[in-house]
Amino acid sequence: MKKPNLAVDFCGVRFPNPFVLAAAPPTDDAEMIARGFEAGWAGAVVKTLGLEHVEVNLVSPMMVGMDYEDKRLVALQNIDLISDRDIREVLPEVRELKRSYPDRIVIVSIMASTEAEWKEITRRVQEAGADMIECSFSCPHGMPERGMGSAVGQNAELTYERAKWVAEAADVPVLIKLTPNVTDMRPVAEKVKEAGAEGVTCINTVKGLIGFDLDSMTPIPSVDGYSTEGGISGPAIKPIALRFVADVARDVGIPVAGVGGVVTWKDAAEFLLAGAGIVEVCTAVMRYGYDIIEELNEGLLLYLEDKGLGSPMDLVGKGLPKIVGHGELSRATKVLATVDEDTCIGCGACVIACRDGGHQAIEFAGPDAGDDARVPKVDDEKCIGCGFCRTVCPVDGCLTMQPRED
Amino acid sequence: MPETTNPTAMTEDGRTYAPHEAVIEASRCLMCEDPPCNQGCPASVDVRRFIRKIRFGNFRGAVRRIREANIMVGVCGRVCPQEMLCMEHCTRAKLDTPIDIAGLQRFAGDVELAGLAPVPEIPASRGVRVAVIGAGPAGLGAAAELAKAGVSVTVFEKADSPGGVLTHGIPPFRLDPSFATDEFSYVERLGVTMKYGVNADPAALLGEGFDAVFVGIGLGRPYTIGLDGEDLKGVHIAGDLLASVAAGETPTLGDDVVVIGGGNVAMDAAMTALRLGAANVHLCSLESHEEMPAFRSEIDEVLGEGVVFHTRTMPVRILGENGRVTGYEGIGIRWKTPGVLVPSNAEQIPGTGFGLKADAVIEAIGTGVLDRFDGVETDQRGVIKVDEETMKTSMDRVFAGGDIANGGATAVLAYGEGKRAARAIIEMLDRESGKGGGA
């Protein structure tokens, strides 16, 4: 069989693979982006630029992580702002990057205020050689107070107006980066489409408050004793991102650059199945470095090979038809918790989970069973097939949900 | 925790978890239903519960919960052969490796030292007095359990400090004596009266009006082999040598040292010899590697430090000049009856004799009963006979536990036996006073 090719066409642009560095610290200067390209990233969204008169006054510290047990950085909160670099320095770098890496896709993220400014920055970025433009309508902190960022993306009319300004000024494809801090992203995405932009990037960070320092009883990250709500990224937000990508891809029918919590090729494949045409990555790159692209590319390639598919584009939206309303789900199929006694190690995690989190349907066989005393037994009268026990079993494939025979 | 030890360090190496590392290790715990680890602890520590407390960031709760069951939190975290106890039962071993319960317990013990630990609310005095003879692990287990139940307890200890073999027989690189003393002193905070430098007798104490006596005096008389040359200068009894090192002395042994024995004391003696400056340490045991009674982890440490083993050999004689040790002669053996690992069952194999240069020879071949009490029934070795359920001896109102009653085992087993005896004593006293459900 022919080896799959990772290249994808997205909004009329050819990407050597579907993986793009998201607008963030890893794309704040050309030297960094060049290292990303050397590592194998197909493209980069240059960290959001404003016009030279826009003051960007950063705070420090601006990032703090959330750990869970043995896992560091399950989520990251940032209260960073758009790039504090002067656009007059950055644009020549964009031109140089395109000269050095003509096959890579340089997208420039922009943010502005008035129509004139949006159009001016669009033209200047385009002149510098950007392959695409991404407009941040979605940063949840700092900018909304100034009528920008998610203050735009939460309002369909403001989104429409600004997307139209940029689309009118741009010759290259335009992506509008949307905020998940809405109950439904589809009305906003509809307006993006109507305004003539080529696609959307979803999602930006989820607005949150990551925690407190318990000694001082103050919120974190502490900026001289105070903090503010910020943007949450990292693995914790992946389910939220996938949901918005699927909503927009299925119901709006506009190309989607998927982003939010991607670490591995498996995460990326899921974004493609949910309808993303390319996948942006930020927090995982910040944490592990640019060379995780090797695992994204190789893992995805091998997956495509396994599935007999020739291109990542064959995956895009493939999972959408199976996402239906709750009411449309079958009530006829019932499953039963089933324990593989050969691989069970007898920890009883399922016993506890079912007793205190389910329907008291699982108990140890008990002393009468001799050596099998610690093998869990499922009471098929009580088991409603909820599946929670399967989520706690520490042995791969030991506890499964099998169709009921009755 | 790293497995290698430093053969030059006489003090503890401080191998312990940082808080986030402890959480990482604790989060490997499967939090089993009816956890098998708990059944492995002779001191009835609720292992799953304390690990859960560490996992969810309740470190002080963890150490307090352990200390309720066993005041020797950090001590047992250091000296317990947990790979033979709780860790042997750990379900996680069926997936990969067991939880490092010892390391987590040691971590917990460092979170809140005994001197800072809160004292539980002790019920009103029951108006009864119990004497405990011996301040080793068995005596401390009994004393703590009795005191927490409102019993007035006096401990009579022959030595001048608590801990028994833990402070007088374990080298400081394994257990820091000042840390151990801090943990043991917790019994005083529970209201126990300690009397040191006292030889006590159970019958006499009952005569003085104590309502019951617990005997936990340990063994205390090291065996000697009876070899030619045993009286030479440079021949040491391991127990005496370790006690002097534990007391802070640094005797000179010389470059070449031979240790005789295959138990934990022999392992400690070999490691101590290296730390006292010996260049070459040889360990000669009757047993093969697999047969040695020492804990596997200790044997591995000794091997890792470069001690040369001569297993399945027996001593022939100790050589000397001018009254000083100069060498050691041994010979290979086979067991006449397989599996019976005693000297009388060893048969020399002709032609397997060997000689070793030696400046010192340390005998570590076991310990027997030192003190006996009139009227308390024992076996022929002097080990006190007890009822396994209650630890009661043949003498009315006298109970016993630890090495003196089990012939020699672990500190944690001794502690557990002390607790068991304490509960039986309380039950007996309650029954007599008409309290409780006795009758």
Convert the pLDDT of each residue in A101-147 to its tens digit. 999 999 999 999 999 999 999 999 999 999 999 999 888 888 888 88
Residue A377: inside a domain: yes
Residue B140 has which token pair? 């401390």
Residue B192: inside a domain: yes
Q: Which residue shows structure tokens 């909503």?
A: A247
pLDDT of residue B334: 95
Question: What proportion of chain B, given as a percentage, has pLDDT over 70?
Answer: 98
Does A286 share its domain with A210?
Answer: yes
Does B229 share its domain with B350?
Answer: yes
> Which of A301, A322, A343 is a domain's end point?
A322
From chain A, the residues in CB contact with B34 under 8 A are 348, 364, 374
Convert the pLDDT of each residue in B84-96 to its tens digit. 889 999 999 999 9
Convert the pLDDT of each residue in B130-149 to its tens digit. 999 999 999 999 999 999 99
- Locate the chain B residue with the closest alpha carbon to A366: B34
Total number of domains in chain A: 2
- Locate the chain B residue with the closest alpha carbon to A345: B94
Does B81 share its domain with B41?
Answer: yes
Convert the pLDDT of each residue in B292-341 to its tens digit. 999 988 999 999 999 999 999 999 999 999 999 999 999 999 999 998 99
Does A352 share its domain with A274?
Answer: no
Q: What's the domain range around A141?
A: 8-322
Does A167 share its domain with A87?
Answer: yes
Does B357 share its domain with B240?
Answer: yes
Residue A3: inside a domain: no
> Which of B365, B399, B415 is a domain's end point?
B365
Does A107 share its domain with A193?
Answer: yes
**pLDDT at residue B436 above 80?**
no
pLDDT of residue B2: 46
Convert the pLDDT of each residue in A335-389 to its tens digit. 999 999 999 999 999 999 999 999 999 999 999 999 999 999 999 999 999 999 9
From chain B, the residues in CB contact with A70 under 8 A are 23-24, 27-28
Residue B90 has which token pair? 């750990």
**pLDDT at residue B194 above 70?**
yes
Does B138 share its domain with B179?
Answer: yes
Decide if A301 touches B, using CB distance below 8 A. no
Q: What's the whole-number mean pLDDT along residues A180-208?
A: 97
Does A368 share its domain with A296?
Answer: no
Does A225 share its domain with A367?
Answer: no
Whether residue B402 contacts residue B138, with contact meaning beta carbons closer than 8 Å, is answered with: yes
Q: Identify the band that residue A3 occupies on the pLDDT scale cut at 50, 70 and 90.
A: confident
Does B228 share its domain with B349?
Answer: yes
> Residue A394 maps to which CATH number?
3.30.70.20
CB distance A346–B23 less than 8 Å?
no
**pLDDT at residue B171 above 70?**
yes
Does B193 share its domain with B179?
Answer: yes
Q: What's the domain range around B87?
A: 19-116
Residue B123: inside a domain: no
Does B228 share its domain with B208?
Answer: no
- Locate the chain B residue with the closest alpha carbon to A353: B33
Chain A nearest CA to B59, separation (Å): 14
> Which of B365, B387, B422 is a domain's end point?
B365
pLDDT of residue A140: 85
Residue A253: inside a domain: yes
Question: What proportion of chain A, given as a percentage, has pLDDT over 90?
Answer: 92
pLDDT of residue B437: 45
**pLDDT at residue B71 above 70?**
yes
Give the residue numbers of A marked as catalytic.
139
Chain A nearest CA to B30, separation (Å): 7
Chain A nearest CA to B45, separation (Å): 19
pLDDT of residue B435: 66
Does A305 share its domain with A358?
Answer: no
Q: Which residues 325-384 of A have a C-beta within 8 angstroms of B?
A: 345-349, 351-352, 364, 374
Chain B nearest CA to A375, separation (Å): 11
Residue in B31, B33, B58 to test binding to A, most A beta-carbons within 10 Å: B33
Residue B122: inside a domain: no
Residue B353: inside a domain: yes
* Measured distance CA(B417)–CA(B384) in Å, rounded: 13
Q: Identify the band that residue B82 occupies on the pLDDT scale cut at 50, 70 and 90.
A: confident
Q: Identify the band that residue A223 occupies on the pLDDT scale cut at 50, 70 and 90.
A: very high
Decide if B31 touches A, using CB distance below 8 A. yes
> What's the whole-number average pLDDT of chain A?
95
> Residue B306 maps to which CATH number?
3.50.50.60
Q: What's the whole-number mean pLDDT along residues B264-288?
A: 96
**pLDDT at residue B439 above 60?**
no
> Which of B336, B365, B394 is a domain's end point?
B365
Convert the pLDDT of each residue in B377-420 to its tens digit. 999 999 999 999 999 999 999 999 999 999 999 999 999 999 99
Decide if A395 touches B, using CB distance below 8 A. yes
From chain A, the residues in CB contact with B94 under 8 A are 345-346
Does A311 share its domain with A361?
Answer: no
Residue B438: inside a domain: no
Does B57 share its domain with B148?
Answer: no
Residue A182: inside a domain: yes
> Which of A275, A304, A322 is a domain's end point?
A322
Q: What's the whole-number mean pLDDT along residues B179-195?
A: 95
Residue A1: inside a domain: no
* Measured distance CA(B232)–CA(A9) in Å, rounded: 91
Check: complex ipTM more than 0.85: no
Convert the pLDDT of each residue in B285-299 to its tens digit. 999 999 999 998 899
Does A293 share its domain with A350?
Answer: no
Does B298 share its domain with B356?
Answer: yes
> Which of A270, A294, A322 is a domain's end point?
A322
**Which three-class secondary structure state does DSSP give residue A115?**
helix
Residue B124: inside a domain: no
> Residue A28 maps to which CATH number?
3.20.20.70
More confident residue, A54 or A21: A21
How deeply is B398 buried, as exposed, middle or buried, from its count of CB atoms within 10 A (0-12, 13-18, 19+)? buried
Total number of domains in chain B: 3
**pLDDT at residue B10 above 90?**
no
Does B260 share its domain with B359?
Answer: yes
pLDDT of residue B4: 67
From chain A, the residues in CB contact with B24 under 8 A are 69-70
- Locate the chain B residue with the closest alpha carbon to A376: B33
CB distance A346–B91 less than 8 Å?
yes
Q: Is the pTM of this model over 0.90?
A: no
